Protein backbone atom coordinates (compact mmCIF):
# COMPACT_ATOMS: atom_id res chain seq x y z
CA UNK A 1 0.00 0.00 0.00
CA UNK A 2 1.34 3.39 -1.02
CA UNK A 3 1.85 5.71 1.93
CA UNK A 4 3.07 9.30 1.92
CA UNK A 5 3.52 11.01 5.27
CA UNK A 6 4.46 14.68 5.45
CA UNK A 7 6.06 16.31 8.45
CA UNK A 8 7.89 19.47 9.41
CA UNK A 9 5.11 22.01 9.28
CA UNK A 10 4.51 24.58 11.96
CA UNK A 11 4.40 28.25 12.85
CA UNK A 12 7.22 30.42 11.51
CA UNK A 13 7.76 34.17 11.34
CA UNK A 14 7.89 36.02 8.03
CA UNK A 15 11.38 35.74 6.58
CA UNK A 16 11.99 32.47 8.38
CA UNK A 17 12.75 29.00 7.10
CA UNK A 18 11.20 25.57 7.37
CA UNK A 19 12.02 22.15 5.92
CA UNK A 20 9.22 19.79 5.04
CA UNK A 21 9.71 16.05 4.67
CA UNK A 22 7.65 13.38 2.98
CA UNK A 23 8.31 9.77 3.95
CA UNK A 24 7.31 7.34 1.23
CA UNK A 25 6.58 3.63 1.44
CA UNK A 26 4.76 0.92 -0.48
CA UNK A 27 6.37 1.59 -3.84
CA UNK A 28 9.81 1.86 -5.43
CA UNK A 29 10.45 5.49 -4.51
CA UNK A 30 13.59 5.80 -6.64
CA UNK A 31 11.60 5.04 -9.81
CA UNK A 32 9.07 7.84 -9.55
CA UNK A 33 8.99 11.59 -9.87
CA UNK A 34 7.31 13.51 -7.07
CA UNK A 35 5.51 16.80 -6.58
CA UNK A 36 4.62 19.24 -3.84
CA UNK A 37 1.20 20.91 -3.92
CA UNK A 38 -0.18 23.43 -1.45
CA UNK A 39 -3.56 24.76 -0.45
CA UNK A 40 -4.02 28.04 1.38
CA UNK A 41 -6.86 28.11 3.93
CA UNK A 42 -10.19 28.12 2.13
CA UNK A 43 -8.51 28.29 -1.28
CA UNK A 44 -7.83 25.97 -4.19
CA UNK A 45 -4.91 23.73 -5.04
CA UNK A 46 -1.59 25.23 -6.18
CA UNK A 47 1.23 23.16 -7.62
CA UNK A 48 4.56 24.10 -6.00
CA UNK A 49 7.41 21.96 -7.28
CA UNK A 50 8.41 18.81 -9.21
CA UNK A 51 11.46 16.57 -9.02
CA UNK A 52 12.28 13.69 -11.32
CA UNK A 53 13.23 10.25 -10.03
CA UNK A 54 16.97 10.93 -10.31
CA UNK A 55 16.71 14.62 -9.31
CA UNK A 56 17.99 15.56 -12.76
CA UNK A 57 14.90 17.64 -13.60
CA UNK A 58 13.35 20.13 -11.19
CA UNK A 59 10.60 22.69 -11.70
CA UNK A 60 9.15 25.38 -9.46
CA UNK A 61 6.11 27.59 -9.50
CA UNK A 62 7.03 31.23 -10.09
CA UNK A 63 5.57 32.07 -6.68
CA UNK A 64 8.30 30.07 -4.89
CA UNK A 65 11.20 30.14 -7.34
CA UNK A 66 14.40 31.30 -5.69
CA UNK A 67 13.02 30.71 -2.18
CA UNK A 68 12.08 27.02 -2.10
CA UNK A 69 14.29 24.03 -2.91
CA UNK A 70 12.98 20.56 -3.62
CA UNK A 71 15.22 17.54 -3.06
CA UNK A 72 15.02 13.83 -2.44
CA UNK A 73 17.03 11.03 -0.87
CA UNK A 74 16.23 7.80 -2.66
CA UNK A 75 18.19 5.78 -0.13
CA UNK A 76 15.89 7.07 2.61
CA UNK A 77 12.69 7.03 0.50
CA UNK A 78 12.20 10.66 1.37
CA UNK A 79 11.21 13.87 -0.38
CA UNK A 80 12.00 17.32 0.99
CA UNK A 81 11.02 20.94 0.53
CA UNK A 82 13.35 23.56 1.97
CA UNK A 83 11.41 26.79 2.32
CA UNK A 84 13.32 30.04 2.91
CA UNK A 85 12.29 33.70 3.05
CA UNK A 86 8.78 32.65 3.97
CA UNK A 87 5.91 35.07 3.42
CA UNK A 88 2.43 35.35 4.82
CA UNK A 89 1.06 34.07 1.50
CA UNK A 90 3.01 30.82 1.91
CA UNK A 91 0.60 29.83 4.68
CA UNK A 92 -1.00 26.61 3.48
CA UNK A 93 -1.33 22.89 3.87
CA UNK A 94 1.51 21.30 1.90
CA UNK A 95 0.96 17.92 0.26
CA UNK A 96 3.45 15.61 -1.38
CA UNK A 97 2.04 13.64 -4.29
CA UNK A 98 3.08 10.62 -6.31
CA UNK A 99 2.02 11.22 -9.93
CA UNK A 100 -0.98 12.95 -8.37
CA UNK A 101 -2.48 9.46 -8.00
CA UNK A 102 -1.50 9.30 -4.35
CA UNK A 103 -1.34 12.15 -1.86
CA UNK A 104 -0.12 12.49 1.69
CA UNK A 105 -2.35 13.83 4.45
CA UNK A 106 -0.62 17.22 4.33
CA UNK A 107 1.30 19.34 6.81
CA UNK A 108 0.23 22.85 7.80
CA UNK A 109 2.66 25.72 7.46
CA UNK A 110 1.64 28.98 9.09
CA UNK A 111 3.68 32.10 8.43
CA UNK A 112 2.78 34.80 10.91
CA UNK A 113 4.38 37.21 13.32
CA UNK B 1 1.14 29.22 -18.24
CA UNK B 2 -2.00 27.27 -19.08
CA UNK B 3 -5.06 28.59 -17.29
CA UNK B 4 -7.82 26.19 -16.29
CA UNK B 5 -11.31 27.58 -15.86
CA UNK B 6 -14.02 25.50 -14.22
CA UNK B 7 -17.73 26.15 -14.31
CA UNK B 8 -19.80 26.47 -12.35
CA UNK B 9 -17.90 27.55 -9.23
CA UNK B 10 -20.64 26.07 -7.10
CA UNK B 11 -23.53 23.78 -7.77
CA UNK B 12 -26.54 22.67 -5.73
CA UNK B 13 -28.04 19.30 -6.49
CA UNK B 14 -30.18 16.62 -4.88
CA UNK B 15 -29.44 13.01 -4.06
CA UNK B 16 -30.07 10.97 -7.18
CA UNK B 17 -29.33 13.82 -9.60
CA UNK B 18 -26.83 13.75 -12.41
CA UNK B 19 -24.46 16.72 -12.65
CA UNK B 20 -21.84 17.92 -15.09
CA UNK B 21 -18.84 20.13 -14.36
CA UNK B 22 -16.95 21.82 -17.16
CA UNK B 23 -13.26 22.65 -17.39
CA UNK B 24 -11.71 24.77 -20.13
CA UNK B 25 -7.99 25.11 -20.84
CA UNK B 26 -6.53 28.35 -22.20
CA UNK B 27 -4.70 26.35 -24.86
CA UNK B 28 -4.84 22.83 -26.19
CA UNK B 29 -3.69 20.15 -23.76
CA UNK B 30 -4.66 17.02 -25.75
CA UNK B 31 -6.03 14.67 -23.08
CA UNK B 32 -3.58 15.58 -20.29
CA UNK B 33 -6.42 16.34 -17.93
CA UNK B 34 -7.21 14.94 -14.49
CA UNK B 35 -10.10 15.33 -12.06
CA UNK B 36 -9.88 15.30 -8.27
CA UNK B 37 -12.40 15.16 -5.45
CA UNK B 38 -11.66 16.84 -2.14
CA UNK B 39 -13.64 16.71 1.06
CA UNK B 40 -13.13 19.19 3.92
CA UNK B 41 -9.94 18.55 5.87
CA UNK B 42 -8.85 15.75 3.55
CA UNK B 43 -6.28 15.38 0.79
CA UNK B 44 -7.48 15.43 -2.80
CA UNK B 45 -8.45 12.07 -4.28
CA UNK B 46 -7.70 11.23 -7.89
CA UNK B 47 -10.82 10.28 -9.86
CA UNK B 48 -9.92 10.47 -13.53
CA UNK B 49 -6.73 10.78 -15.56
CA UNK B 50 -6.11 11.17 -19.27
CA UNK B 51 -9.45 12.99 -19.49
CA UNK B 52 -11.59 9.87 -19.40
CA UNK B 53 -9.74 7.02 -17.65
CA UNK B 54 -11.14 6.03 -14.28
CA UNK B 55 -8.70 5.54 -11.45
CA UNK B 56 -8.70 2.09 -9.89
CA UNK B 57 -11.39 1.78 -7.28
CA UNK B 58 -13.39 4.81 -8.41
CA UNK B 59 -17.03 3.95 -9.11
CA UNK B 60 -18.28 4.10 -12.68
CA UNK B 61 -20.78 6.79 -11.73
CA UNK B 62 -17.89 9.17 -12.40
CA UNK B 63 -17.05 9.77 -16.04
CA UNK B 64 -14.89 12.22 -17.92
CA UNK B 65 -14.74 13.35 -21.50
CA UNK B 66 -13.11 15.89 -23.75
CA UNK B 67 -9.91 16.67 -25.56
CA UNK B 68 -8.03 19.75 -26.59
CA UNK B 69 -9.46 22.63 -24.56
CA UNK B 70 -12.89 21.52 -23.35
CA UNK B 71 -13.54 18.83 -20.78
CA UNK B 72 -16.38 17.59 -18.61
CA UNK B 73 -16.80 15.55 -15.44
CA UNK B 74 -20.17 13.89 -15.03
CA UNK B 75 -21.41 12.34 -11.82
CA UNK B 76 -24.54 10.25 -12.05
CA UNK B 77 -26.95 9.26 -9.30
CA UNK B 78 -25.51 11.57 -6.65
CA UNK B 79 -25.12 10.11 -3.19
CA UNK B 80 -24.40 11.98 0.06
CA UNK B 81 -20.71 11.03 -0.08
CA UNK B 82 -20.33 12.72 -3.49
CA UNK B 83 -20.92 16.20 -2.12
CA UNK B 84 -17.45 17.71 -2.14
CA UNK B 85 -15.24 20.08 -4.12
CA UNK B 86 -13.98 18.96 -7.52
CA UNK B 87 -10.86 20.20 -9.30
CA UNK B 88 -9.57 19.75 -12.80
CA UNK B 89 -5.82 19.77 -13.49
CA UNK B 90 -3.75 19.98 -16.63
CA UNK B 91 -0.48 18.07 -16.72
CA UNK B 92 0.37 18.79 -20.34
CA UNK B 93 3.18 21.12 -19.32
CA UNK B 94 4.78 22.71 -16.31
CA UNK B 95 3.74 24.69 -14.41
CA UNK B 96 0.95 22.25 -13.70
CA UNK B 97 -2.24 24.17 -13.08
CA UNK B 98 -5.57 23.46 -11.42
CA UNK B 99 -9.00 24.86 -11.98
CA UNK B 100 -10.41 27.01 -9.20
CA UNK B 101 -12.70 24.23 -8.02
CA UNK B 102 -16.40 23.45 -8.14
CA UNK B 103 -18.19 23.08 -4.83
CA UNK B 104 -21.01 20.56 -5.09
CA UNK B 105 -23.58 21.09 -2.36
CA UNK B 106 -26.73 19.30 -1.32
CA UNK B 107 -29.91 21.12 -2.31
Contact B107, B12 (CB under 8 A): yes
B94/A105 Cβ within 8 A: no
Residues of chain B with Cβ-Cβ distance to A101 below 8 Å are 46, 49, 55
Distance of CA A113 to the CA centre of its chain: 22
pLDDT, chain A, mean = 98
Query: Which of A6, A38, A44, A48 has the most B C-beta neighbours within 10 Å, making it the best mutation to test the interface with B?
Result: A44
Minimum Cα–Cα distance from A5: chain B residue: B43
Mean pLDDT by 10 residues, chain B (107 residues): 97 96 98 97 97 96 98 96 97 97 95
Instruction: Write the CB contacts of B40 (distance below 8 Å, at least 6 apart in sequence).
Output: none
Instruction: List, in sequence order, every residue forming a beta bridge with B97; answer none if it has no partner.
Output: B90
Burial (CB count <10 Å: 0-12, 13-18, 19+), residue B96: buried
Residue B22 Cα, gap to closest chain A Cα (Å) = 16
Amino acid sequence: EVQLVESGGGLVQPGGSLRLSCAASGFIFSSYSMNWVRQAPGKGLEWVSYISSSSSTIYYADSVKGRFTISRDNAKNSLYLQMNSLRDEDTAVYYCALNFDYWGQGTLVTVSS
Amino acid sequence: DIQMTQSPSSLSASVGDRVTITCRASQGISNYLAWFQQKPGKAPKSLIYAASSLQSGVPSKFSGSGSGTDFTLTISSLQPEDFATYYCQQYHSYPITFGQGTRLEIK
